[in-house]
Structure 1
């Protein structure tokens, strides 16, 4: 009747998180169960997880909120609901935050450049927010799937999207930004360094634009 959810990285994470949560609550969890782990009425179903705790049974399906209502899910809910001791749980994939558009990010970098003259710390945080948004845009255009800035920088450098000097500059700025954002001691942002970061953001804007079809 219905197959398991297509396992994108976000779906895998959501399914793993659900399995961990259920196990912590005392459930025995099987990922991607086969027909032998389901009752005959659900033999043609491929849920993402099935869980058991005493006489209780769960069928877990991972879904995206962006997908339209699926008749298979309605039928699955009816069939699971008809089985004593069984219920269906839907787990939704967390929605990725939308990245600001290029023009907004470019304007943010420009504001940071000017702000650096009077408040380098605030300017650095603003410039980094522009840079990080642009890095995500560049990554999305190349099929990279990572939200960790350190891994993102390394991946873009390995693809030649940023050169070695830019990689070093961005990693240093990221480390200073983290110290500021988390109240840790670190080097004081320099006005010229922040302005160079803002200039680099403008270069990344151009690359992000040229990478579009």
Structure 2
């Protein structure tokens, strides 16, 4: 069972998110909070697997609270009505591994929680392309540096991180490359460790920098 903490300053929004998430039999909402400071207290008390964290709240907002919540052991999905680049960049720097808009369909919201709980990153499709473009400065020097970093991967690891950069989840990669999902996950973990990276979004940006798609 995936344990989720829902954080939003509006009670109606928190109630709606609880209803959506608990319609999935594999997810339980263990608590709610109305601001970032309370979210950190509840994270330390309840030990959720995933914190669904609103970006903009009075007092301590989600972006300010995210680093400490991540340090407390939870995976963070930022949730906002806006898809401004600055929010995405700050959320990723803060350690968030998910970024979704509040108009995300209910089934996709639950799927995102499952994806993040399994150790994968999840970005709203509407922001992914722009995010990668903003990070991927593809001048010759940048491209060469990215390719040198990727040279330390094995052929299979490189093949898999290219699939990651295309936005494919482990299950999709496993089907495409005819291997088990556990094997894909192991390759991704080794690649991240070799590259000194924290999540799949970072390695996707590196692959785009290297212009290997």
Higher relative contact order (CA 8 A, sep 6+): 1
Larger Rg: 1
- Same fold, TM-score > 0.5, yes or no: no
Q: TM-score, normalised by structure 2?
A: 0.24
